[in-house]
Amino acid sequence: MSSIQLGVLLFPGFELLDVCGPLEVFGYAEGLSSTLVAAERGPVASTQGPALLADCALAAAPPFDWLMVPGGLGARAAVDDAALLAWLTERAAACDRVLSVCTGSALLARAGCLDGRRATTNKRSFGWATAQGPAVDWVAHARWVVDGPFFTSSGVSAGIDMALAVVADVRGEAAAAAIAERIEYEWHRDPTWDPFAALHGLVDRGDG
Amino acid sequence: MSSIQLGVLLFPGFELLDVCGPLEVFGYAEGLSSTLVAAERGPVASTQGPALLADCALAAAPPFDWLMVPGGLGARAAVDDAALLAWLTERAAACDRVLSVCTGSALLARAGCLDGRRATTNKRSFGWATAQGPAVDWVAHARWVVDGPFFTSSGVSAGIDMALAVVADVRGEAAAAAIAERIEYEWHRDPTWDPFAALHGLVDRGDG
């Protein structure tokens, strides 16, 4: 079984569950190791207050197989951080899988990674997030969207379903189901399950 | 609206989502502030790897209105930590609400807080957890259980549902529903919803 090195981007004001939901899942995936990366090594405060410890600085990050980008209120400032965007552009191109949760896809969009790709994002912030990537084929109604190496998910808790889908993709459906059972989580296996899009009046072209 | 100071216990090997699921919810609850507490101030590594930063040491913790205790593999060692148990006994008695996620209830049980109370815990570790409190009325089939000030929840992701129930209790059902919608989470509002108990062959006396 291949080992997988996952890099997780942190920035001030990241959304706590965007990061910790998927990392709970990946923590039980065989052969997968996570490294938290931020502008500087050390504590990074979330939107909700609690701080996670970044293992290394962007400039010192080792090569990764997978990359994960969270959203959160801090994404509003991060989309204007040229150094961060340049890092994302370079690293995303070198990864087998590039994952985003919530408005993390707005960061990937601003870094040019999603041009011409199908992707989704947070439904409450759909207008702002999609404006960050006019050349992206944004999907309003989706729990998560897969296009090539990109797994982009909807708001916050959607990251847990996306993470289980990625585990199913590389380690098999049974392995993902065992993790969901272990964390007593009712996994939404259908990427088109999305009761939240309609709450914000969002429909896709062709949805009616 | 009353302000609420929540103290959250961390110990080496806490379960990442046990802490971060509820803190995501509480981060959007009006007038609620969280402080992370551990044996020493500074980083505390989770079972899954990532470290959260403890804001203060147990001995230096301010008074709290609410207390939350997570589970995780580290709970197996923490139940034998006399200083930690003494702190829990004292602090739990002084709090309006005492919350646990997963095997966090085993710690509360060992601290004597749950004697004569109804409580639940992780279903995969039900045998070990319940053995920590022979005088507790353990409920096998429950997403979470309320008894007086105690809100004890089942494994890992059950903490999110419990946290929403606590918010509903003190801030109203609409406030909790708004948070669930914001984090795009399908809230299980029924505390008896528990498809995981049966997976481990667990039934309550009288369940049949």
CB contacts of B10 in chain A (<8 Å) are none
CB of A36 within 8 Å of a chain B CB? The answer is yes
Catalytic residue annotation of A: 102
* Cα–Cα dist A71/B151, whole Å: 30
CB of A6 within 8 Å of a chain B CB? The answer is no
Whether B206 has a pLDDT exceeding 70, the answer reads no
pLDDT in tens, B6-54: 999 999 999 999 999 999 999 999 999 999 999 999 999 999 999 999 9
Are the C-beta atoms of residues A108 and A150 closer than 8 Å to each other? Answer: yes
Give the closest-approach CA distance of A53 to chain B in angstroms.
6
The pLDDT of residue A207 is 46
CB contact under 8 A, A50 and B20: yes
State the count of interchain CB pairs (< 8 A) between A and B.
122
Residue with tokens 């959607």: A158
Q: What is the mean pLDDT of residues A158-187?
A: 97
* Longest CA pairwise span in chain A (Å): 49
CB contacts of A198 in chain B (<8 Å) are none
Q: What is the mean pLDDT of residues A143-153?
A: 98
* Cα–Cα dist B158/B185, whole Å: 12
The contacts of residue A70 (CB under 8 Å, 6+ apart) are A8, A9, A10, A14, A15, A18, A19, A100, A101, A102, A104, A159
Are the C-beta atoms of residues B22 and B68 closer than 8 Å to each other? Answer: yes
Are the C-beta atoms of residues B8 and B36 closer than 8 Å to each other? Answer: yes
Give the closest-approach CA distance of B21 to chain A in angstroms.
6
Whether B200 has a pLDDT exceeding 90, the answer reads no
The pLDDT of residue A45 is 98
Closest-approach residue (CA) in chain A for B30: A48
CB contacts of A183 in chain B (<8 Å) are 17, 155-157
Q: Which of A184, A186, A196 should one mutate to test binding to chain B, selecting the residue with the greatest count of B CBs within 10 A? A: A184
CA dihedral A194, A200, A201, A205 (to 10 degrees): -60
pLDDT band at B2; cut points 50, 70, 90 = confident
Residue among A49, A122, A184 minimizing CB distance to B34? A49
pLDDT band at B208; cut points 50, 70, 90 = very low
CB contacts of B155 in chain A (<8 Å) are 182-184
CB contact under 8 A, B24 and A17: yes
The contacts of residue B192 (CB under 8 Å, 6+ apart) are B141, B142, B143
Q: Could you report the predicted ipTM of this complex, rounded to two decimals?
A: 0.95
CB contacts of A43 in chain B (<8 Å) are 43, 53
CB atoms within 10 A of CB A94: 11
pLDDT band at A201; cut points 50, 70, 90 = confident
Sign of the CA dihedral with A161 first, then A164, A169, and A170 last: positive
CB atoms within 10 A of CB B106: 29
Chain B, 40 to 59: residues with Cβ < 8 Å from chain A are 43, 46-53
* Cα–Cα dist A124/A109, whole Å: 17
Closest-approach residue (CA) in chain A for B22: A17
pLDDT band at B95; cut points 50, 70, 90 = very high
Q: What is the DSSP letter of B41?
A: S
CB of B184 within 8 Å of a chain A CB? The answer is yes
Whether B187 has a pLDDT exceeding 80, the answer reads yes
Record the tokens describing residue A55, joined without a space. 């293992």
**pLDDT above 70: percentage of residues in chain B:** 98
Q: What is the mean pLDDT of residues A31-51?
A: 97
* Cα–Cα dist A102/A153, whole Å: 6
The pLDDT of residue A205 is 57
